[in-house]
Structure 1
Amino acid sequence: MATGWAGDGAVQDQIDATIKDGIKRVRSQLPQGPGLLRCEDCDEKIPAARRKAVPGVRRCVSCQEIHDAEGDGFSGYNRRGSKDSQLR
C-alpha cells in the first residue's frame, strides 16, 4: 500500500515508463532502409549472409563491434533518484 503523495501503482508506472523509453530508444537505433554492399566505415565488402541476417546493415562485423564498444554514452533519466528526493 502506497502512502504519502504516491498513488497505488506509482512505482510500477515508473518502471513501465522506463522500460517503454528504453525500448523506444533501442528501436530508433536499428538500421533502416536497404543494407549496403560495402561497409560505410572501412569500405570492405559486407557478406551476403550478413546482409540477409541483418536487414539495413551498414557496417561489417569488425566495424560494428568497434561502433558498439564505443557506445553512445546514454544515461537516461534517473526516475528513482527523482522519487528518492521527493521522499525526504
Structure 2
Amino acid sequence: MADSIDLANENSQRHLEAALASRARMATMPSLTHCEDCDEPIPEARRNAVPGVATCIECQSINEHKSKGIR
C-alpha cells in the first residue's frame, strides 16, 4: 500500500505532466495580438518571447495570483 509521500509524489507528477502538456499545446498556437481578458494590445516583444501567449503581462500576473490564492 502506498504511503502519503508516494501519493503526494504521484499527484505532483500528474500536475507537472499536465502543465507541460498545456505549455506544449500553447507553443504551437499563434500568439494573440490583443489580451483575451482585457482586450489591450499585447506588445510584440511579449508575443515573440512567449509563443502562444493569450494575455498581457498585467492580466497574466493577476491570473497567477488568483491561481495561488493571493489577493
Structure 2-normalised TM-score? 0.69
Structure 1-normalised TM-score? 0.57
Runs of 4+ in 1 over 6 A off after TM superposition: none
Taking the aligned partners of 1:47 and 1:68, their CA distance within structure 2 comes to: 19
Larger helix proportion of the pair: 2
Taking the aligned partners of 1:16 and 1:63, their CA distance within structure 2 comes to: 31
Question: What whole-Å deviation, never above 9, does each CA across 1:29-83 have from its counterpart, x for those lacking one?
Answer: 436211100001111110111001100000000000011111077xxxxxxxxxx
Match of 1:17 in 2: 10
Structure 1 62/51 Cα, relative in aligned 2: closer, same or farther at 3 Å? same
Match of 1:38 in 2: 34
- Structure with higher RCO (Cα < 8 A, 6+ apart): 2
Figure out how many residues of one structure are paired with residues of the other and give that number. 64
Taking the aligned partners of 1:16 and 1:62, their CA distance within structure 2 comes to: 32
Match of 2:53 in 1: 57
Q: State the AA in 2 paired with 1:53.
A: A
Identity %: 38
- SS of alignment partner, residue 16 of structure 2: helix
Over aligned residues, Cα RMSD in angstroms?
A: 2.6
Larger Rg: 1
Unaligned runs of 5+ in 2: none
